[in-house]
Amino acid sequence: MDYRDTPEEAEFRAVLRQWLSATIPAGWDKIDDEEEAVELRKEWHRTLYRAGYVGMSWPVEYGGRGLSPVYDAILNEESGNMNAPSLPSVGYIGRAIFTYASEEQKRRFLPPLLSGEVSWCQGFSEPEAGSDLASLRTTARLEGDHYVVNGQKMWTSGGQYADWCLLLARTDPDVPKHKGISAFLVALNEPGVTVRPIVIASGEAETAEVFWDDVRIPEEQRLGAPGEGWRIAMTTVAYERGPADIGFIAAYRRTLRKVERLATERGLLEQPETRKALARAYVRGEVLRLNCMEQLSLRVSGRAPGSEGSVAKLLWAEAEQSLQHLAMDILGADELTGVADGWLSSYFTSRPVSVYGGSAQIQKNIIARMLDMPR
């Protein structure tokens, strides 16, 4: 593929740069309070949408602009270059809804998802069903025209700030475990839903556990056919593994510039080892960006995300964790003794990236099967 901009894409990029320069909230990256930061991200989502920069590759009838996914990649790049707040992660859950929902469900759920009016989380993992997702034990029993859900979900990222949840539950215990799972679209303010934030090693409550006690879900809020939950889950994580769909490229570029400034402030920029480490970090980011561009190109040609998303997921985890490790190397003991402050939290936050959308071992198994390697 040709990675250069077409004349139309170059014009879009120039207009976008001007808009970002005039619109990015001053001092947004100095906010320490988690709830204030969440509110800023939500408002940034709505601002982007009003300007036409969210859902650019989505169909017009569901709130998008019907453009090529390449425009989303340009938004990712320029947001990172201009130090903009994180982009909204509408891609992976939205694409699952778009792929499997009825027409009525698409028109009900997709426009408010894209506009930022309604935020979503993903209710997949459980205390004993993380990497082995098919072993989930949350049940949904059909009673009349409602399902009654009971169980517990863990590691529900952003669950404490979400309005709705894409939930997986077992609807048929008498068939092979992959075939007895269904998916549901559920409001988190339904009676019987309890959300408890989980404070992780970084000291922040960025994830949650969600309890479901006799929660009644209308049958028309089931996504897809009964027993189609596993297929829907695999579609969701296929998009989740693509950094282009969750705005990671922009965040990585922003962090890389911060690490470069850190090395400059500490007088380490002329040291050969520091320069090599920064160069490797830049190359990792570029490899990941070009991998994303290739996958977006496949999508433009009509091919849905597949096993190749596991390659991007491994590159993503390595890039993010290596960059955070480099920041800790530059700071040395000063970060641990409190002389310098602010990077330890993001270092710890980078560690679980390995398991987002499936652990590194799962991704390697998928790649091995893709390459027809022996088990």
Q: List the catalytic residues.
A: 240
Q: Which of 117, 65, 87 is nearest to 244 (CA)?
A: 87
> Which two structure tokens, joined as six digits, stand for 317?
């985890």
Show the CA angle centred on residue 33, arms to residues 255 and 327, nearest 5°: 25
H/E element, 93: helix 91-100
Residue 35's Cβ-count burial label (10 Å; 0-12, 13-18, 19+) is exposed
Question: For residue 356, what are the contacts with CB-CB under 8 A and spacing of at least 6?
Answer: 240, 241, 313, 317
Q: Which of 124, 100, 72, 94 is nearest to 299 (CA)?
A: 72
| Entry field: residues in the chain | 375
Give the whole-angstrom CA distance, residue 346 versus residue 324.
Answer: 7
In this structure, the strands spanning 120-123 and 164-170 are: parallel
Give phi and psi for 156, each to the nearest 5.
-85, 90
Question: For residue 171, what are the contacts with CB-CB under 8 A and spacing of at least 6?
Answer: 139, 140, 141, 142, 147, 180, 181, 182, 226, 227, 229
Give the whole-angstrom CA distance, residue 215 versus residue 212.
Answer: 6
> Which two structure tokens, joined as six digits, stand for 111?
């426009």
**Per-residue buried b or exposed e for 187-214, using 16+ beta carbons within 10 Å of the residue's own CB:** ebeeeebebebbebebebbbbbbbebee
> Which two structure tokens, joined as six digits, stand for 278?
């920064």
